[in-house]
């Protein structure tokens, strides 16, 4: 079953069960996907976005909500922080399991070997391989410095 189908089934189940917060989050996910499809269509691309695009959208949504929750906590707005973290849990249901630190390190080593990278100039190639294989499974903001350190 595709990710898009899982989202639709979950949306229908949330409607039937009258889970208001979950339904709201699932609708936000669908809206973000539709926005991306409209943007792609405007660029003359395919009408439907693929699985990797959806995973990237979900990853971005998780990161945004984690940052918002952190800001709310710092501002003393714990109820809003809890709402953001509840949304993160719903979104993460559709993301693949996150890789452990050891698995991330092994993936970086494999990607460096695959492209034959030997200098910092090859960082883009290594990141492209990692994004192609591990979208949604690792935080590329944290992986970038690790790749840079390995190639330096």
d(CA 76, CA 39): 36
Contact present, 26 and 7 (Cβ < 8 Å): yes
Cα–chain-centroid distance for residue 37? Answer: 17
Indicate whether 68 pLDDT > 90.
Answer: yes
Angle at 58 between CA 85 and CA 145, to 5 degrees: 90
Question: Confidence class of residue 45 from pLDDT cuts 50, 70 and 90?
Answer: low
Ordered by where they begin, the domains of the chain are: 3-92 (1.10.1510.10), 101-151 (1.10.10.410)
pLDDT digits (tens, 9 = 90+) for 78-126: 999 999 999 999 998 888 888 888 888 888 888 888 888 888 888 888 8
Global pTM? 0.73
List of long-range contacts for 71-76, beta carbons under 8 Å, 24+ apart:
none
DSSP string for residues in 5-54: HHHHHHHHHHHHHT-HHHHHHHHHHHHHHHHHHHHHHHTT--SS--HHHH
């Amino acid at each position: 079953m595709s990710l898009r189908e899982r989202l639709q089934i979950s949306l229908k189940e949330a409607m039937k069960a009258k889970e208001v917060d979950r339904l709201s989050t699932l609708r936000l996910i669908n809206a973000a996907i539709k926005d991306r499809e409209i943007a792609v269509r405007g660029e003359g691309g395919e009408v439907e976005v693929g699985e990797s695009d959806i995973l990237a959208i979900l990853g971005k949504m998780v990161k945004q909500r984690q940052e918002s929750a952190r800001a709310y906590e710092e501002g003393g707005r714990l109820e809003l922080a809890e709402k953001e973290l509840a949304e993160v849990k719903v979104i993460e249901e559709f993301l693949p399991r996150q890789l452990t630190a050891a698995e991330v390190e092994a993936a970086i080593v494999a990607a460096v070997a695959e492209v034959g990278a030997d200098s910092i100039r090859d960082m883009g190639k290594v990141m492209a391989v990692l994004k192609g294989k591990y979208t949604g499974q690792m935080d590329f903001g944290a992986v970038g410095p690790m790749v840079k350190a390995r190639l330096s």
